[in-house]
Amino acid sequence: MPEQAREERLAAAFVELADTLVEDFDIISFLQLLATRCVDLLDVAAAGVILSTPEGGSLEASGSDEHSGRLEQLGVEWGEGPGLDCFRSGRVVDGTLLANGSPRGSPYARWPRFAPHALRTGFVSVTATPLRLRGLTIGALSLFREDPEPLPGAQLGLAQALARLATIGILQRRAVHRQSVVVGQLETALRSRVVIEQAKGALSHRHRISVDEAFTLLRQYARSQRRRLTAVAEEVVDGTADPPFPPSPPLPRARTAD
C-alpha cells in the first residue's frame, strides 16, 4: 500500500507540473510546487529552485519552505551556491558535502557565504540538477539533505525527470505568452491602420482634398498636439476632432506697368 500511495503521488505530481496553461498560472507558485513535490517524493529535507526570467536579466528563487526559499534567494544575491553553479554550467552538482573542510575545491572555498549559512540551517549535503531542455538551461533545482550521503541514483533520475517536465511546462507557457503578445501587437497595428485610413477618407471628404493631403493634414495636426496619430484619427472618425485645413497662400499680385 505505501508503494501504491507513492505511485499515486508521483502520478499526481506529473499531472500538476504539466498543467501550466491555466489562466491563473503564477510562476513563483509553480516553482514552489516543484520544490514541494520533490520533498514529498524524494529522500530530501528541502528543495529550492532558481529560474531565469524570459529576458535572462535576472533570476527568480523559490523553495519548499521558508528556509530553502531564503537560502536560494541569498545564493542569487551573493552570486554563489550549487544552484547557480548548476545553472551556469548546465550540469548536475552531485552530492556536495557542505561540511567538507578541505581548503581547495571545498564548498567553503567555492561558496564562502552559502555553505556556512546552509549548514546553520541544518543542511549537510546538496544535489542540484538543471532545468534544461535541448541545450537550453533556464534554471536549477537544488535538493538539500540532512545527512552526508549523496542522493541515490534512482532518486536523482526522478528529480531530473521532474525538473525536465517543469522546464517543458515553463517554456510552453512562455511560448504561448509570446505568441499572444505578437498577435495582440498585430491586431493593434491592424486596427490603427484601419482607423487612420478612415480618418484620411473623412478629412478628404470634409475639406475636398486628396487622400495624400488628408494624411499630411492629420499627421501635422497630431504632431502639433503632441498626440498619437491613431488617437487623433479616432477622434476625426467619430467627429470630435476636425483638424483645420491651412488656407491656401494668397496669389501674388500682378505687377502693373508704370
CATH number of the domain where residue 88 is located? 3.30.450.40
Q: pTM of whole model > 0.75?
A: no
Whether residue 28 is contained in a domain is answered as: yes
Low-confidence ranges of the chain (pLDDT < 70): 1-4, 20-24, 56-57, 100-108, 177-189, 245-258
Shared-domain flag, residues 14 and 54 = yes
Q: Looking at residue 99, what DSSP letter applies?
A: T
250, containing H or E segment: none
Residues comprising the chain, all counted? 258
Q: Kindly state the cell numbers that stand for 239.
A: 467627429
DSSP of 199-220: HHHHHHHHHT--HHHHHHHHHH
Look at residue 238 in the predicted model and tell me its pLDDT. Answer: 83
Domain boundary among the residues 142, 174, 206 is at 174
Whether residue 253 is contained in a domain is answered as: no
Shared-domain flag, residues 193 and 140 = no
94, containing H or E segment: strand 93-97
Shared-domain flag, residues 133 and 188 = no
Shared-domain flag, residues 110 and 203 = no
Q: Kindly state the cell numbers that stand for 57.
A: 536579466
Q: What does the alpha-carbon distance between residue 92 and residue 94 come to, in Å, rounded to a whole number?
A: 6
Give bridge partners of residue 125 from the DSSP assignment: 97, 145
Look at residue 29 in the predicted model and tell me its pLDDT. Answer: 85
Look at residue 46 in the predicted model and tell me its pLDDT. Answer: 95
Q: What does the alpha-carbon distance between residue 99 and residue 240 come to, in Å, rounded to a whole number?
A: 74
What is the CATH number for 223? 1.10.10.10
- Which residue from 69, 84, 47 is spatially nearest to 166, judged by alpha carbons? 47
Look at residue 106 in the predicted model and tell me its pLDDT. Answer: 66
Shared-domain flag, residues 80 and 141 = yes
Q: Kindly state the cell numbers that stand for 61.
A: 528563487
Shared-domain flag, residues 19 and 100 = yes
Shared-domain flag, residues 196 and 103 = no
Q: Say how many domains are in the chain.
A: 2
Q: Cα(first)–Cα(last) distance of the chain, in Å?
A: 121
102 CB-contact burial (10 Å; exposed 0-12 / middle 13-18 / buried 19+): exposed
Whether residue 254 is contained in a domain is answered as: no
Domain of residue 197: give its range: 184-238
Whether residue 256 is contained in a domain is answered as: no
Look at residue 181 in the predicted model and tell me its pLDDT. Answer: 55
Give the C-alpha distances (Å, rounded to integers) separating 133 from 64, 90, 139, 240. 23, 10, 11, 54
Note the pLDDT tens digit of each residue in 34-78.
Answer: 999 999 999 999 999 999 887 766 788 889 998 898 999 999 999
Shared-domain flag, residues 23 and 148 = yes
Look at residue 105 in the predicted model and tell me its pLDDT. Answer: 54
Whether residue 248 is contained in a domain is answered as: no
Whether residue 64 is contained in a domain is answered as: yes
Query: What is the phi-psi region of residue 215: left when phi exceeds 0, alpha when psi lies from -120 to 50, beta otherwise?
Result: alpha
